Structure 1
Amino acid sequence: MAIHGNLSEASLADVLQLLSLGQKTGCLSIARDGSFGTVHFADGRVVDASIANRRDRLGDRLVRLGAVAPDELARLAAQRQVQDDRDLAKALLATELVDHDLLGQLFRTQVEEVVYHLFGWTQGTFTFEPDDDTSPEAPLVSISADALLLEGARRIDEWSLIEKKIPSFDLIFEVDRSRVSAHEASLSPAQERLAALLDGTHDVHALIERSGLSEFDVGKALYGLVTTGYAQRVGRSSARRQPPPESRVAEHRNLGIAFYRTGMLDEASREFRRVLELRESDGISRFHLGLVHARRGEWADAASTFARAAQEPEAPSAVWHNLAFALEQTGDRAGASRALDEAVRRAGSLPDPRLALSRADMALRDGDLAAAEVLLATARAQWGARQPSAAWFHTAGLAAALAGDSRRAVALLEEGLAVYPHAVPLHNNLAVVHERRGSYELAARTLEHALLEDANCPHLHKNLGDYLYRAQRYDEACDAFVRVVRLAPLHGPDVYLKLGNIHYRRGALDDARLAWEQALALEPGNRIVMANLAAMLPAADQVFPEPSATPSVVNEAVLAAHGADA
């Protein structure tokens, strides 16, 4: 279950301690005033941490230390499609470019420094998304949260003193070399390194970059030099106050993508809109803004945003694919078909199984089962040795069920759940197939298992309520239906009809009438509801006809992944 909160109510140290004690695995995301950081956990231990747009990266440190040449690093990053420092570290471990012990030490130091920096954030929001660590690879580092907490607390205390002398990183300092020589000062190694750079032209940001030291070590060493009078402040770097436009565009775009990937949609939308204010033609940001609308279910806005992005001559296949999906959700089937054809054309010679899957889904909606089966087979072949997506198993199971082959539908859905055990739509649809085959107890157990994955899915409570209702377990059915209307008051008339029937059997006539009236408001022409309401006064003991109780199937909304990286 995801955890959300505000740093003003719970400190980051408290959150880390909670995740450590619970031996949690997943990603903790922290957002604060345009800054964004992540801390990854495996069994309660920290295995990675990063801050978006942080200047001091692993590659920078390796180059400064002379451990790898800049051109070799750039070539490796391009070949391995490196996205972040963890990808870079894994790529370097597979080569002989860098000493592996040095690489491990630097990566660990960088993770620690990020966490210590995040400890200083006292305002903002945090979100923890749990995840199953199914990767067979051992993490590059595994750090005890307790050790980080102890060192972090010490640094926070020290930094409260340091920032009295160094309140901002755009300050410029200069060393008084005559005074250092006169006193024959004994400087620490960090102070010796800084003294060579304190020439009145470098601000603290530059000192951190050029010295190769961490922010804390630079601050501590500089604090000692200033306190003893060996260095003094001489100005402020005005150049840092207004970053160049390209830097601002990249910063907002990267923050938006980081927010989007962790589900912080409001923050992501804000950053993408800032990019478009600076550069209206930024296709990546417009594409991701469309994805934000889609994630929110704002299909008309998603369609118009994707359509605007598709006007760019070089718009990739993913833009047209998502445009097709959004248009289909708005009811424009013809437009969706044309957009999907254009997505296939732009994909060219690189087959994308997601496009074949979307075509299969469209054929299924048109009732063309034969075409759907061919396209599903094509999609699976295009995945090659990789496992198909959860959406493929969803559509393939649905196609088999609609073709009347319930045994194959069960096999496909169970195969999908073996790969994606937390995919709620697969659980739900498997329960539907079990119920239609007459395996009612198995259907109920499947639904109960699905509810452990997502207790807020109204479809699951509705299907479970249907089963309990047919099994005449009315008290349990009533609880399930009440949860449905609490989660989705407009879910459908069938829920209120059955709730009315249960209330009537209990003798709660007022509650029965209110439930049936709500059902009639949702479906004014429902004859069963009308008959029940009409019969309430003259026949208090009338047994009402039962409504149809066919379980509903959740259709999973699938968004095509964007092919380009910001």
Structure 2
Amino acid sequence: MALQGSLADIAFPDVIQLVSVSGKTGVFSISGEGVEGKIYLRDGQITDAYVGGLRGENAVYEMAIWQKGHFIFTPNVESDQITVTKSNASLMMEAARRLDEWRVLQRRIPSLDLIPYFQPRQAGQDQVTLSPQEWVVVTKIDGQRTIRQLEQATQLSAFEVCKVLFGLISSGLIGLRDTHERPVQGAPAGPSATTLLALTENVRKIAEELVGPGGAKSVEKQYRLARTEIEQGKGMAAVQSMVDHLARVISLLKGGEEAGEFLRRVTPLVSG
């Protein structure tokens, strides 16, 4: 008889622990939060996992925080890939930590079907310093995407997206609304000019790091042009144009490999 049950009745890390102790080989199929995933074990050790666009450890952590859904264990099924190398004990310790943090996040973010939007801001109010991961999330918020859709757009886990949103909500930069609620009057459709100017500064720093002093003037030229266009109301298009021009500059000065590295680092920050 297959091991199966509801995530509402038992925390999934506890189920993993039970199977680990028994040394079983097989696969957990887990459905919850509107998606399905799988966790493979060999002799009780997790070897592979995937859910949505996540694979490996991050997939394990993503499913470990689900509190609703269903799981079933099918014995003697193995994956032909090994994407998890940490011990089950280490994985479950981190999963338990994230589950505790997830419960805190849910106090402000009770559903993944809520829509984040930018709060109306006073001039000069939103001087912000964001991490690269925060930029990835901020530049995907358009007042229409749900948190679940932000996961797909950013290729981050629900935990990572919600952790970023929690901080942005706490700072007053972002609000949340239900899908059936009308958009907040006066809420900007995207990041404010001040936020975009800060983003161009991040892009400039990455470009300067790659081209060195010899290309600083070319980088500065594109940076100033982007700032002017943002102040003229061109929004994210100005930032994207800056990135395109800088990629060509870096390719000419340093070669295609460095230009590729530049795009690899900045594309997650600016792509829609």
Map of 2:220 onto structure 1: none
Residue 85 of structure 2: SS of its match in structure 1?
Answer: coil
One of 156, 167, 184 as aligned partner of 2:127:
184
Residue 145 of structure 2 corresponds to residue 202 of structure 1 = yes
Q: What is the alpha-carbon distance in structure 2 between the residues aligned to residue 124 and residue 235 of structure 1?
A: 22
Map of 1:27 onto structure 2: 27
With the length of structure 2 as denominator, give the TM-score of the two structures: 0.55
> Greater helix share, 1 or 2?
1
Map of 1:131 onto structure 2: 76
Map of 1:223 onto structure 2: 166
Q: What is the alpha-carbon distance in structure 1 between the residues aligned to residue 15 and residue 112 of structure 2?
A: 28
Q: What is the alpha-carbon distance in structure 2 between the residues aligned to residue 132 and residue 200 of structure 1?
A: 43
Residues 214 and 132 of structure 1: CA distance in aligned 2, closer, same or farther (over 3 Å): closer
Residue 165 of structure 1: SS of its match in structure 2?
Answer: coil
Identity %: 33
Q: What CA RMSD, in Å, does the superposition of the two structures yield over aligned residues?
A: 3.2
Give, in angstroms, the shift of residue 40 of structure 1. 0.9
Residues 179 and 49 of structure 1: CA distance in aligned 2, closer, same or farther (over 3 Å): farther
Give, in angstroms, the shift of residue 18 of structure 1. 1.8
Map of 1:11 onto structure 2: 11
Residues 140 and 165 of structure 1: CA distance in aligned 2, closer, same or farther (over 3 Å): closer
Map of 1:165 onto structure 2: 108
Give, in angstroms, the shift of residue 139 of structure 1. 2.8
Q: What is the alpha-carbon distance in structure 2 between the residues aligned to residue 206 and residue 149 of structure 1?
A: 27
Letter in 1 for 2:22: G
Gaps of 5+ in 1: 58-108, 239-566
Letter in 1 for 2:65: G
Do the aligned partners of 1:25 and 1:132 also contact (CA within 8 Å) in 2? yes
Give, in angstroms, the shift of residue 222 of structure 1. 0.7
Map of 1:115 onto structure 2: 60
Map of 1:525 onto structure 2: none
Q: What is the alpha-carbon distance in structure 2 between the residues aligned to residue 189 and residue 219 of structure 1?
A: 15
Map of 1:560 onto structure 2: none
Residue 92 of structure 2: SS of its match in structure 1?
Answer: helix
What CA deviation, in whole Å up to 9, does each residue of 1:446-478 have, x standing for no partner? Answer: xxxxxxxxxxxxxxxxxxxxxxxxxxxxxxxxx
Residues 228 and 142 of structure 1: CA distance in aligned 2, closer, same or farther (over 3 Å): same
Q: How many residue pairs end up in the alignment?
A: 181
Give, in angstroms, the shift of residue 35 of structure 1. 5.6
Residues 203 and 212 of structure 1: CA distance in aligned 2, closer, same or farther (over 3 Å): same
Give, in angstroms, the shift of residue 229 of structure 1. 0.6
Letter in 1 for 2:25: T
Map of 2:89 onto structure 1: 146
Do the aligned partners of 1:171 and 1:237 also contact (CA within 8 Å) in 2? no
Give, in angstroms, the shift of residue 207 of structure 1. 1.8
Gaps of 5+ in 2: 182-272
Residue 107 of structure 2: SS of its match in structure 1?
Answer: helix
Max Rg structure = 1
Do the aligned partners of 2:113 and 2:179 also contact (CA within 8 Å) in 1? yes
What does 1:57-456 correspond to in 2, within 5 Å?
57=53, 110-131=55-76, 139-176=82-119, 178=121, 181-182=124-125, 184-234=127-177, 236=179
Do the aligned partners of 2:65 and 2:102 also contact (CA within 8 Å) in 1? no
Give, in angstroms, the shift of residue 183 of structure 1. 5.0
Residues 206 and 179 of structure 1: CA distance in aligned 2, closer, same or farther (over 3 Å): farther
Q: What is the alpha-carbon distance in structure 2 between the residues aligned to residue 216 and residue 127 of structure 1?
A: 23
Higher relative contact order (CA closer than 8 Å, sequence separation 6+): 2
Give, in angstroms, the shift of residue 41 of structure 1. 0.3
Give, in angstroms, the shift of residue 186 of structure 1. 2.0
Do the aligned partners of 2:113 and 2:146 also contact (CA within 8 Å) in 1? yes
What CA deviation, in whole Å up to 9, does each residue of 1:210-244 have, x standing for no partner? Answer: 22222111110011000111112355268xxxxxx
